[in-house]
Amino acid sequence: MPGFELFGDLERKEVNEVLDTGVLMRYGFDAMRKDRWKAREMEAALADRMQTEHAQLVSSGTAALTIALASAGVGAGDEVIMPCFTFVASFESILALGAIPVLVDIDDTLTLDPDAVEKAITPNTKVIMPVHMCGSMADLNALRMICDKHGLLLLEDACQAIGGSYKGKPLGSIGDLGCFSFDYVKTITCGEGGAIITNNPEYKKNADHYSDHGHDHIGKDRGAETHPFLGYNFRISELNAAVGLAQLARLDEFLAIQKRNYTKIREAITDIPGVTFRRVPEGGEENYSFLSFFLEDFETAKAVQKALDESGVDGCMHWLDNNWHYIKKWEHLKNKTSLGKLPQEVIEKLPDYHQADFSASDHWMGRTLSLLIKIGWSEEELQSRAEKIRAVVQGVMA
Ligand SMILES: *Cc1c(COP(=O)(O)O)cnc(C)c1O
């Protein structure tokens, strides 16, 4: 997944162009900036690549999710349905707005189970947020139909899946809004950064203003701008955008390497009895950032992970006990613990996740291993890694 493995001349050139001007701010400073607008340029390139009308670059993927929700008017007490296997940012962004994260089960796609989603809908539900974990997607047709039937928004968290597609459309472009992260370990990186894509001009305008203190961005003089609504500072800097602009230009190069490396490792274990692979919905294509596969049970998965670790194969995730990505270890969410006091409405409406039953998800999480696919491996490293993984998995399964 990590684009940082292949920094090169293009990234350096873009960064130097920003340093030459002294303008690190994405808005204003027109006279000084020698017409260099890296954030704007990356927004145009991203919208073009994702086949959407608009893109808004912001400071992180977490910010992108928060802003996407806010830009569509989601706020206090609104319920957002999301999977229990994701990154903590999903519920952070919802709670930041005083909205309520409603966690539901995943299925063998490793993201939202449409049946579980439908059962969780209440009169307060506003949004369905599938998370394309480890590079692949939920059954987005089914989720779109549920959204249309109930008048809900579809917001795709495509932070780990840039470059993947569903029925010919880029992941992120299928929902009413889509979000990407360009943090330090993502497929393309800005260091820290994120983006929202949408075809809705109102959401774009709201996102642009909300991420810059609510500035209306109509005047030439920043000091004369007014604030139609409250906002925050979720801006990206020109330096970060410069790195991202170079990386985005190289996205297809990175994806091709990812796919080659993924395919090689998948082929190495595909015929081992007891190994099966994550289900990709019909018409979907992963971005190949991880290879996720199932073993027969929790014990086997644990044993394979341990054996891989001991043989020096890094980047193998077993999700059930993972601190960052699965509900089992999210004590802070279960205990409703923040620094200050959460709003009373949030405390009351947030489900009791100590009691909730996620056994259907435990079933999949316990059996799943995900291997991180890097793009910096040499041919020899890839070959020896594939051989080692095959030998280890076969050894444990024998
Ligand atoms: C990385 C990530 C985020 C958050 O992105 P940041 O840029 O690190 O804030 C959100 N969701 C998922 C699924 C992620 O992997």
Q: Of 324, 333, 320, 325, whose CA–CA distance to 369 is shortest?
A: 320
CB 181 less than 6 A from any atom of ligand 1: yes
Count CA atoms closer than 13 A to 246's CA, side-chain side: 23
d(CA 39, CA 355): 45
Cα dihedral 248→315→317→270 (10° resolution): 90
Inter-CA distances, 80 with 6, 12, 20, 88, 291, Å: 37, 40, 44, 14, 28
Q: Judge if the beta carbon of residue 308 lies within 6 A of ligand 1.
A: no
3-state secondary structure of 274: coil
Alpha carbon of 186 to ligand 1 centroid (Å): 8
Long-range contact pairs involving 339-346 (C-beta distance under 8 Å, separation at least 24): 342/95, 343/76, 343/98, 345/76, 345/77, 345/98, 346/95, 346/98, 346/100
**Which of 156, 87, 98 is closest to 124 using CA atoms?**
98
pLDDT of residue 1: 65
Tell whether the torsion through CA atoms of 103, 108, 111 and 114 is positive or negative.
negative
Separation CA 186–CA 182 (nearest Å): 6
Q: Atom 6 of ligand 1 has which residue's CA nearest to it?
A: 61
Q: Of 1, 159, 192, which is best to mutate to test ligand 1, by the most ligand atoms within 8 angstroms of its C-beta? A: 159
- Residue 351 alpha carbon to ligand 1 centre in Å: 23
Tell me which residue has its CA closest to atom 7 in ligand 1. 61
Going from the Cα of 278 to the center of ligand 1, the distance in angstroms, rounded, reads 21
8 Å CB contact between 177 and 198: yes
Interval between CA 77 and ligand 1 midpoint (Å): 23
186 tagged catalytic? yes
Q: Which architecture characterizes domain 3-250 according to CATH?
A: 3-Layer(aba) Sandwich (3.40)
- 184-208 per-position pLDDT tens digit: 999 999 999 999 999 999 999 999 9
Give the position, in ligand 1's atom list, of the atom nearest the Cα of 62.
Answer: 9
**Distance from Cα 94 to the centre of ligand 1, integer Å:** 13
Does the C-beta of 115 come closer than 6 Å to ligand 1? Answer: no
Residue tagged active-site, from 38, 186, 204, 264? 186
Please give the model's pTM, rounded to 2 decimal places: 0.97
| Banded model confidence at residue 323, pLDDT cuts 50, 70, 90 | confident
User: Where does CATH 3.40.640.10 sit in the chain?
Assistant: 3-250
Element (H, E) at 125: strand 125-128
Under a CB-based contact definition with an 8 Å cutoff, are residues 286 and 258 in contact?
Answer: no
List where CATH 3.90.1150.10 sits in the chain: 252-397
For residue range 344-394, what is the model confidence (pLDDT) as tens digits? Answer: 999 999 999 999 999 999 999 999 999 999 999 999 999 999 999 999 999
- pLDDT tens-digit series, residues 235-276: 999 999 999 999 999 999 999 999 999 999 999 999 999 999
Fold of 252-397: Aspartate Aminotransferase, domain 1 (3.90.1150)
